[in-house]
Structure 1
Amino acid sequence: MKYTFVIVDDHPLFRGALRLALTSKASNVEIIEIGDLESAKALIEKSTDIDLVLLDLSLNGVGGLTGLISLRALQPLVPVAIVSATEDAVTIRAALALGAAGFIPKSSSPETINEAVKAILEGEIWSPLLGDEAGELDPEMVELIMCMRKLTPQQGRVLGLMADGMLNKQIAHELNVSEATIKAHVSGVLYKLGVESRTQAVIRLARFKEEVLL
């Protein structure tokens, strides 16, 4: 059986290192390397034969957890594993709560990377956390994560642009859609985040960013 893995990382040297780790003990692996989130979204949206996506947590200024939400919304059945130099327990737990199939530290040996990938392909959730360290997120963070998971990819983009201080007209221009469409997205964002104003929505997003590397 042949496997297709997509490595999404903006650092070509790390993509090469990960490719080497994944192909060193297997000849039945096809590797697709992508350097930005938008290209990854375009590929994943139209492809039906991807077995695993390995997503960098910090990608071209776009947080991996935001990217994780977007990619899983496009293809919920394609497992997405976070690969990161950040290894704090809160970020790992948040990634897994958002639906990551695993969290692989960039400091992992090739043997550990292959072990993690093998486990994920067998349907397991891979985590470097053990015992008490695995712990649980506090209830407020769990509630925030559940709200974030409800957002569609476009709603997530709109929320991010709202956080940048853009008005509806500016967001519409940025996303090349009508202002009426943006108003509808904003309403959807407010409803799913359980808030009544743009300011409150941005505050909720900021609270999330304070806790994890979004």
Structure 2
Amino acid sequence: MQILVADDHKLVRDGLRPFLQELDPGAEILDAATLGEAIKVIEEKPGIGLVLLDLMMPGMDGLSGLEQIKTRIPETPVVIVSGYSTRDHVVSAVQAGAAGFIPKTVSGTAMVNALRLVLSGEKYLPSSTFFEDPNNQTINPAAAKPTGAPPPFDRLSRREGEILAQLVEGRTNKEIAIALSLQEITIKVHLRNVYRKIGAANRAQAVRIALQSGWVMPEVIN
């Protein structure tokens, strides 16, 4: 698979490479530092399977750059990777054709999980992004595509929610134990309860369910 990373910061482009190779070890990673370069790569390299796009790089005039790219490769998922992830930014990007919106503040593992979701045909957006649907119901766009019964996150205890949030960020049991000042065996017990309550068979499935639902750790979990 060919993946185009369009960002004017070389440090960002280089930093994404190992995570994209984790996504697909055989992936060819293509670079672009401006919208013009991105369009040139797209025209010269037919068959690009995924585009990661920075909205603030040179040549981008708002969302017109995204629209220009989508016009050329309408079937290819374009994911915005940006340091700016306000509700308006996210919703506008989705309306313009973005398949996902990933803040640059997420961990590399969380980004890989989000991109896997996008490549499976889902949308991935920050879980704090909500908007009104035609029936005036507030929905999370990350869960816009049906994924079965809604995960019952309201059944999680406060501690279980904290542990699931750490899990989504890609942390190991040992790292979670250190972060929450708990024993590693305690983390394992809590994770078994999390899996049972949200209907996950294992760690990877728990992360997928959380990402698909757009779940975010609330301030209070009953």
Structure-2 separation of matches of 1:21 and 1:68 = 23
Map of 1:10 onto structure 2:
8
Aligned to 1:116: 114
RMSD: 2.0
Q: Is the 8 A contact 2:22 2:112 kept in 1?
A: no
Taking the aligned partners of 2:42 and 2:118, their CA distance within structure 1 comes to: 18
Q: Which runs of 5+ in 1 are unaligned?
A: 138-214
Q: CA deviation at 1:14?
A: 0.6
Q: Structure 1 counterpart of 2:130, which letter? A: A
Q: Calculate the TM-score normalised by the size of structure 2.
A: 0.56
> Per the alignment, do residues 123 and 64 of structure 1 end up closer, same or farther by CA in structure 2, a change over 3 Å counting?
farther
Q: Distance in 2 between matches of 1:81 and 1:25?
A: 14
Partner of 1:36: 34
- Name the counterpart of 2:53: 55
Cα pair distance change 1:109/1:65, threshold 3 Å: same
CA distance in 2: counterparts of 1:118 and 1:16, whole angstroms: 20
Runs of 4+ in 1 over 6 A off after TM superposition: none
Alpha-carbon shift at residue 53 of structure 1 (Å): 0.5
Task: Give the secondary-structure state (helix, strand or coil) at the position aligned to 2:131.
Answer: coil
How does the TM-score come out when normalised to structure 1? 0.58
Report the counterpart of residue 134 of structure 1 in structure 2.
Answer: 130
* 2:48 counterpart SS class: coil
1:71 and 1:126, CA in 2 relative to 1: closer, same or farther beyond 3 A?
same
Distance in structure 2 (CA, Å) of the matches to 1:66 and 1:88:
18
Tell me if structure 2 keeps the 8 A contact 1:56–1:64. no
- Is the Cα contact below 8 Å between 1:84 and 1:106 reproduced in 2? yes
Kindly indicate whether the alpha-carbon contact (under 8 Å) linking 2:35 and 2:59 is maintained by their aligned counterparts in 1.
Answer: no
Q: Deviations over 1:148-203 (max 9, x none)?
A: xxxxxxxxxxxxxxxxxxxxxxxxxxxxxxxxxxxxxxxxxxxxxxxxxxxxxxxx
**Structure 2 counterpart of 1:153:** none
**Structure 1 residues 63 and 109: CA distance shift in structure 2, 3 A:** farther
What letter matches 1:134 in structure 2?
F
- Cα distance in structure 2, aligned partners of 1:95 and 1:71: 13
- 1:23 positional shift: 1.9
Look up the equivalent residue of 1:15 and give its one-letter code.
R
Looking at structure 1, the residues matched to 108 and 32 of structure 2 have their Cα atoms a distance apart, in angstroms, of: 20
The structure carrying a bigger helix percent of its residues is 1
2:14 maps to a residue whose letter is: G
Aligned residues: 134
- State the 1:116 CA deviation: 1.2
Which SS does the other structure have where 2:12 is aligned? helix
Structure 2 runs not aligned, ≥5 long: 134-222
